[in-house]
Amino acid sequence: MPFAHKTRVAVLRGGPSSEYEVSLKSGETVLKNLPAKYKPIDVFISRAGVWHVGGMEKKPAEALKHVDVVFVALHGQYGEDGKVQRILEHLGIPFTGSKSFASALAMNKHLTKNALGHLKDKIKFAMHKVFTRDEIKQKGTHEIFRIIPHPSIVKPLTAGSSVGITIVKTFFDLESALNRALEHSDSVIVEEFIEGREVTCGVVDNFRGQKTYPLFPIEIIPKTSFYDYHAKYVSDDTTYICPAKFDESVRQTIQEASKMIHESMGLRHYSRSDFIVHPKRGVYFLEVNTLPGMTSHSLIPKANDAGGFPLSEFFDHVLTLAVAHK
């Protein structure tokens, strides 16, 4: 049902996460690109998790008292792991992005792979092992090095934007890699490191006549050994090719996998899945992002632009879906 006034959109940004700075920039992009029919309300959440509107501290219910819909521009812990979604669900306010359960599931890389296990004949996964902080202390680096694939990539189990990630090629890399990952999560996931071309693919719900519409895949060519936080959000040296130049069969595999992941995980509105394309072994799924970045370096805006889908129209489409799903 249309609102009698300009639709009041609270844009949540910041938050108690290692991706705080990215979220501020994503939120700024949303605030600057909302169509004129919306009235934007900037809701800043501090690193301590305190909500602010107009510079004044507010409880979530008070901050959103006169809001019609929320655009969630948070990333990482609190914003992408189901916590803020549970708050919004409790308050009965429609919001963009996936619901709390699907968000929490997708934030955990191990649970994501388990949830997609029924697709193993259609989607390839890298070998992986998960270790808790206590298990790392108990086993020690020698035992862990013995049982993990080589080379490997060590990641926090629940973090995004490539924070805390290290490629481990020798035993001497492992201890610092584990410690770095544990700075961002109480568990780590150690995956087989697959050499290949990095690619990402976004999907959008109910767009251009499709239930789940795949955007153009984007190939990412970082200057460094892999697409880390610096390459994503700081460096201007990363090369992006959109649409990615793959054979038609590879492109279809990437797009179909992105659609299946989005639908099988119960995600909604939009998401972005990341892959590695090995020259001989094919396409491997890495992880899915339920609230991908919206900064000047981010990939969903690049794919939208390549597909003739301006950010203002994208935000309008997503907000329309959010209101309809109330």
Query: Which residues are marked as active site?
Result: 19, 161, 233, 272, 274, 287, 289, 293
Question: Cα dist. 233→163, 222, 230, 244, 310 in Å?
Answer: 11, 12, 6, 20, 21
Tokens of 184: 């961002």
Q: Residue 272: helix, strand or coil by DSSP?
A: strand
Check residue 269 and give left, alpha or beta (phi > 0: left; psi -120 to 50: alpha).
left
Rounded distance, CA 92 to CA 116, Å?
30
Angle at 75 between CA 250 and CA 127, to 5 degrees: 45
Any idea which residue has 């429609």 for tokens?
Answer: 94
Residue with tokens 């609190």: 78
Give the SS3 label for residue 94.
Answer: coil
The CA distance from 20 to 32, in Å, is 19
CA distances from 127 to 2, 44, 78, 104, 146 (A): 49, 39, 28, 22, 15
CB atoms within 10 A of CB 309: 19
Cβ proximity of 288 and 273 under 8 Å: yes
Amino acid at 293: G
The residue with tokens 């981010």 is 298
- Cα–Cα dist 273/26, whole Å: 18
